[in-house]
Chain A
């Protein structure tokens, strides 16, 4: 049963991203929203950790949060609008929100 892990806290001030990446299983997904999108900042250990995830892990980011922060979308990551967000959530057996 694949899980979509949803993060919204900055990975530079918080350990959620690191803990989450350790617990990912094959087929799981990571959705970055809010300040969690800073994980895509190039030349950072956080982005390196994310980009080194196996291909079976899908990466998503909320488009408006990317735009707001002037972050570029790495090829590996799929940008989602709100309808896409909902669709993405339903594509996984469950969603684990790291509150």
Chain B
């Protein structure tokens, strides 16, 4: 039985390589059929915003990579309710079907996984 991995992604898509690297880990793990879950926390929830325009800041669009997650078998997608609320994103359409969890549920989520990476 492979060890389960929770990736906590807490960076906005444009703040540096962190967001992309976290996604790359998730996709690579998914390709090898590892049990992977992805949690969007803090500024990481900004990755879920729809209709972003990466070209405007000479960057590559992460949305395509995000859409690839289910194709790579990464279906366990979560976001922090608090982070969404704080950033005015609750109730907004998001680019991925994430399950919003409160802090207590997030504590349980972390406890349930064998390994955790926060980027």
Q: Which residues of A contact B (CB under 8 A)?
A: 1-3, 15-16, 19, 22-25, 93-94, 96-99
Contacts and interface: CB of A to CB of B under 8 A. Distances in A.
Contact of A99 (B82, B112, B118): B118
Interface in B55-90: 82
A97 B8 CA distance: 10
B17 to A, nearest CB: 11
A19 B107 contact: no
B107 A25 contact: yes
Contact of A15 (B42, B108, B113, B116): B42
Given A15-B42, A19-B10, A94 B107 contact: no
B31 interface: no
Contacts, number: 41
A97 B117 contact: yes
Contacts of A19: 10, 41-42
B107 A24 contact: yes
Given A25-B110, A25-B111, 14 more contacts: A1-B112, A1-B114, A3-B116, A19-B10, A22-B82, A22-B103, A22-B106, A23-B103, A23-B107, A25-B108, A94-B115, A96-B8, A96-B116, A98-B118
8 contacts: A19-B41, A22-B82, A23-B107, A24-B107, A25-B110, A94-B115, A96-B116, A99-B117
A28 to B, nearest CB: 8
